[in-house]
Amino acid sequence: MTASPPLMNGHRRPTMPVFGDWRPITDQRDPELVEEQRTPEPAAVDIPDAVAEAQAEAIRAKAWADAEAKRITAEAEAKAAEIKAAEEARKLRLANDKAERRAAEDQAASRARVAELNRKRDEIERARLEADRQAQEQKASEARTAAEVSEADDKWRSYAIKFAIVCGIVSLPVQMSFFWNPRAPWMAATPVMLEGAAWVVHRGARAAAVSKRPVWHYRTIVWFLAFVAAGVNLYHGLHAFDPGTAIATAFASVAGPGVWDLHEHGRIRKRDGALTRRERKAQEKAAKAEAKRKADEDARRRAEKEAADEAAKEAVAQLADTRATQFPKVWAHALRLAADLGETTVTEAIWKRAKLDVEGAPPGESADVLRMRNAAEARVSAAREKRPVTGSSAQAASQVLGPNKPRVYNPPARRGVRAKGDTAPYVSGARKQASIAARNSRKKDQ
């Protein structure tokens, strides 16, 4: 054993502290008196000073080494704790950053959802306002249109009445002169009767139109009376006056009731919802366009159906060729089955039966497929159990051939039963050690 050097890093080594009952050799204090031990100690052996010094130095070196090891261990533990704390702080910081980012993302997503909801609400509100505005505009437009129609109808009715009155004023004098007879002056009221009858029947036609009854017979009577008055004016005007007067008065007799009949005819068609010529033309055009569209759609569907049928036929033919090429025996048997069962083609049911008859397996399976599947399952099982695929498998005793010679029973010479004295006795040291171990075990249990 070597002593520690007197200098350490260029400085004198410090005095070692006292550990336990020993002291360094530099300590010259008197040792304390101790009580005499009851058990006698062996006689002290004189040890040279150099050896004692070396032993003390060795003890000091060992103590210093132990303290240094403890210090290094403590520093290492402190460093490890510091590193662990730093790592935990880093993880905590990362977790906090992650939580903060998640919170920021959630907040941003929430703001986005709120903004989207606000945008949709604004769009709905704008759409509602726009719909209300359009509805109001439509109502206003309909009101203006209704007012214009009502005003036009009123003007048309007023103008028709005024025109009929003028026509009556023009046509009545010629008729009155025709029916005038000094001996029968009351005949002068005949033209008034004719014109009045026409207008009375007009009122009947209007009443029938309001109550949604037929009006054609009323209008027929009106036109008959108008033509009678026109004939009277034309005949008397040509004989008593000039042709111009005759034609003008005849036209006045027909024009007045005719204009009013046009007015009533418009009211009747409006009541019945009859379409105008332009509307009828537009409706006919739309009907022709719809018929053309339907015809084109039917033609397109027929073309698509024909194309699909043709593609299906080609697919069936290609499948038949593939089956005949890949499974010639099965295909030949399927053709025989189809002919035997009265089928013109090999259906799926016939193919399935032929596959079972020839290969003993349904479509999609065969002996090769089953062997390949079993081999793949064996490889997967070997990979899971971490064993080679090509290794030998466990062999049963029934698979091993028996020996050439017959087996002879040869029992052991001695029975396998223990007896007293069949083992050599233990040595005394072993017995003592076993006793000490048992005693220590009992103390630990207590």
pLDDT at site 34 = 46
| 196 and 264 housed in the same domain | yes
Residue 237 contacts residue 174 (beta carbons within 8 Å): yes
Least confident of 189-198, 247-256, 296-305, 406-415: 406-415
Residue 238 has pLDDT above 50, yes or no: yes
Domain region containing 195: 166-274
Asked whether the whole model's pTM tops 0.75, one would answer no
The pLDDT value recorded for residue 301 is: 92
Domain boundary among 208, 242, 274: 274
Q: Which pLDDT does position 390 carry in this prediction?
A: 62
CB 187 within 8 A of CB 181: yes
Q: How many CA atoms lie within 13 A of 58 on its CB side?
A: 8
- Asked if pLDDT for residue 139 goes beyond 50, the answer is yes
User: If DSSP states are collapsed to H, E and C, what string results for 340-393?
Assistant: HHCCCCCCHHHHHHHHHHHHCCCCCCCHHHHHHHHHHHHHHHHHHHCCCCCCCC
Is residue 438 included in any domain, yes or no?
Answer: no
Q: Is the pLDDT of residue 110 over 70?
A: yes
Residues 117 and 216 in one domain: no
Helices 190-210, 216-240: crossing angle, 10 deg rounding: 160
pLDDT tens readout for residues 364-381: 888 888 888 888 888 888
Q: Are 116 and 195 contained in the same domain?
A: no
**pLDDT in the model for residue 1:** 44
Per-residue buried b or exposed e for 131-165, using 16+ beta carbons within 10 Å of the residue's own CB: eeeeeeeeeeeeeeeeeeeeeeeeeeeeebeebbe
Q: How many domains does the chain have?
A: 3
Percent of the chain at pLDDT > 70 equals 80
Neighbours of 53 (CB within 10 A): 13
Give the separation between CA 436 and CA 446, rounded to whole angstroms: 15
**Mean pLDDT for the chain overall:** 79
3-state secondary structure of 184: coil
Residue with tokens 């698979």: 399
- Considering the domain boundaries, does residue 377 fall inside one? yes
Sign of the torsion formed by the C-alpha atoms of 146, 152, 155 and 158? negative
Burial of 366 (0-12, 13-18, 19+ CB in 10 A): middle
Residues 173 and 123 in one domain: no
Q: Which residues pair with 68 in a beta bridge?
A: none
**270 and 171 both lie in a single domain:** yes
Residues composing the chain: 446
**Residue 34: inside a domain:** no
Which stretch of DSSP H or E encloses residue 11? strand 11-12
